A and B are shown apart, each in its own frame.
Chain A
Amino acid sequence: DQQVKQNSPSLSVQEGRISILNCDYTNSMFDYFLWYKKYPAEGPTFLISISSIKDKNEDGRFTVFLNKSAKHLSLHIVPSQPGDSAVYFCAANPYNTDKLIFGTGTRLQVFP
């Protein structure tokens, strides 16, 4: 049973436009959410996070939105750059553990 779902395996966006990556979750015990970025042959690197007490967190070109009632979060990248081309993983943390549950990832390609 997939508790964290990324239903779009891939996304292609033109440079300068907005990239929107989506993530849905099923477990109400998640209270902390993270996005990781992964380049080929490298480990995932932390990008941005959001606590369940917030609905938005911004860091430069990256903004994460959380809609708790819909159990949905999204990552917005504005403007998209070719260097953003990578696989993006959504992850969720239950309130009573330090484990992360990862989604299956979305491959973003930003073309010139």
Chain B
Amino acid sequence: NAGVTQTPKFQVLKTGQSMTLQCAQDMNHNSMYWYRQDPGMGLRLIYYSASEGTTDKGEVPNGYNVSRLNKREFSLRLESAAPSQTSVYFCASSRNTFDGVKTDTQYFGPGTRLTVL
């Protein structure tokens, strides 16, 4: 099992350019997440998908769109990149079947380092 994979690993964009970050998981997980990590800020949730066909905003959704293409794949799109979107982006997935006592955790991909000039 590869777990959670992300492409690309690195990307440099100019202000105003668009791009899509790809994420896939092979653990048959229901939920998927996109985070960004900035120095001194921890990980902040951008969007998440509780199940195939559903998406919802997280803490910092402005400037981003997402697509839950199927159960395996969850993509993050920047329509018009801005320097403030320079960050490391992490995708995560979790089983998310709550049956009384929580034991679930999120599994993270290796990240995409994005620089917007």
The interface of chain A, by Cβ under 8 A from chain B, is 4, 6, 9, 31-32, 34, 36, 41-46, 49, 51, 53, 89, 93, 98-100, 102-105
From B35, B48, B107, B109, A46 is in contact (CB under 8 Å) with B107
Q: How many residues of B contact A (CB 8 A)?
A: 29
Whether the Cβ atoms of A49 and B103 lie closer than 8 Å is yes
> How far is A31 from B103 in the complex, measured between Cα atoms in Å?
11
B35, B41, B102: the one contacting A93 at CB < 8 Å is B102
**Complex interface: chain B residues within 8 A of A93 (CB):** 102
Q: List 19 A-B contacts (CB under 8 A).
A: A31-B102, A41-B110, A43-B4, A43-B92, A43-B108, A43-B111, A44-B90, A44-B108, A46-B106, A49-B102, A98-B48, A98-B98, A98-B104, A99-B58, A100-B106, A102-B42, A102-B43, A104-B40, A104-B41
A98 touches B42 (CB 8 A): no
* B44 at the binding interface (Cβ < 8 Å): yes
**B109: A residues at CB distance < 8 A:** 43
Tell me the bound Cα distance from A46 to B108 in angstroms.
9
Contacts of B107 in A (CB 8 A): 46
Query: Which residue from chain A places its CB closest to the CB of B4 in the assembled complex?
Result: A43
Give B84-114 as 1s and 0s: 1 = Cβ < 8 Å from A's Cβ atoms: 0000001010101010011111111111000
Q: B111 contacts A42, CB within 8 Å?
A: yes
Known: A98-B31, A98-B94, A98-B96. A44 touches B105 (CB 8 A): no
Q: Which residues of B contact A4 (CB under 8 A)?
A: 42
CB contacts (< 8 Å) of B44 on chain A: these are 102
Quote the shortest CB–CB distance from A36 to chain B (angstroms): 8
Quick one: given A98-B50, A103-B42, are A49 and B111 in contact (CB under 8 Å)?
no
Q: In the complex, A93 Cα to B111 Cα: how many Å?
A: 22
| Bound: A84/B41 CA distance, A | 22
Which of A43, A49, A53, A99 is close to B105, meaning CB atoms less than 8 Å apart? A49
**Chain A proximity of B21: nearest CB distance (Å):** 13
Shortest distance from the beta carbon of A107 to any chain B beta carbon, whole Å: 11
Most buried by B among A36, A89, A99, A104: A99
